[in-house]
Copies of this chain bind each other. A is one copy, B any other.
Amino acid sequence: MKRISILRAIAMCAVILITFAASRSDDKAVPLFGIKIPPGYRDWKLISVAHEAGNLNDLRAVLGNDVAIKAYREGKIPFPDGTIIARLAWSYVPSEENDKVFGRSQSFVAGSATNVQFMVKDSRKYAATGGWGFAQFKDGKPDADAALLKTCFPCHEPNKARDYVFTHYAPTP
């Protein structure tokens, strides 16, 4: 009897923990597109790098999951379903340390992380926005501003010929 009670208690705990975990991860999705941070995205392969000056003033890396990288390398347009493109950005900061070595002010490096954006290809789910879902996360938390997320596709729309993706694959020598 006692053994059954312990097993029952363990089972109940498991249910509670799973429910809790599920509700927590649901909390982490952006509105509109329902996208969560893809696990392990920081380990993805490099597509390219960029610097946005102006108000953004960041340094960025664009990474892709395996589906994205394969499509990029094969020049496949449109990108297949399952493609996820990640754009990581950091504040654009001068590096005193590096400048000292170069003997002049020329070195700009990644400061603190600003935000991370994702484009997720699902041609059925996101049919209304060219087959792409859009998401933005700051400090690991989803940007809950639905109005902001609505501005993503109109900006990408002019680039229909390249399946709404701006970033080119940085050539490998």
Residues of A participating in the B interface, judged by any CB pair closer than 8 Å: 42-43, 45-46, 48-54, 56, 59-61, 63, 88, 90, 92, 95, 97-98, 100-102, 104-110, 112-113, 115-116, 137-140, 155, 158-159, 166-168, 170-173
Q: What are 18 inter-chain pairs, A to B, with CB distance below 8 A?
A: A42-B172, A43-B45, A46-B61, A46-B63, A48-B110, A50-B59, A50-B108, A51-B92, A53-B106, A56-B106, A61-B170, A97-B166, A100-B158, A112-B171, A113-B173, A137-B173, A138-B173, A139-B173
**Are A49 and B54 in touch, CB under 8 angstroms?**
no
The count of identical subunits is 2
B49 touches A59 (CB 8 A): yes
Give the chain B neighbours of A158 by CB distance below 8 A.
100-101
The answer on a CB contact under 8 Å between A106 and B52 is yes
Tell me which of B63, B105, B137, B172 contacts A113 (CB under 8 A). Answer: B172
A-B contacts besides A50-B59, A90-B170, 6 pairs, CB < 8 Å = A50-B95, A53-B106, A54-B104, A88-B170, A109-B167, A113-B172
**CB atoms of B109 and A168 under 8 A apart:** yes
Question: Which residues of B are found within 8 Å of A46, using beta-carbon distances?
Answer: 42, 46, 61, 63, 88
Cα–Cα, bound, A41→B50 (Å) = 20
Whether B173 lies near A140 (C-beta < 8 A) is yes
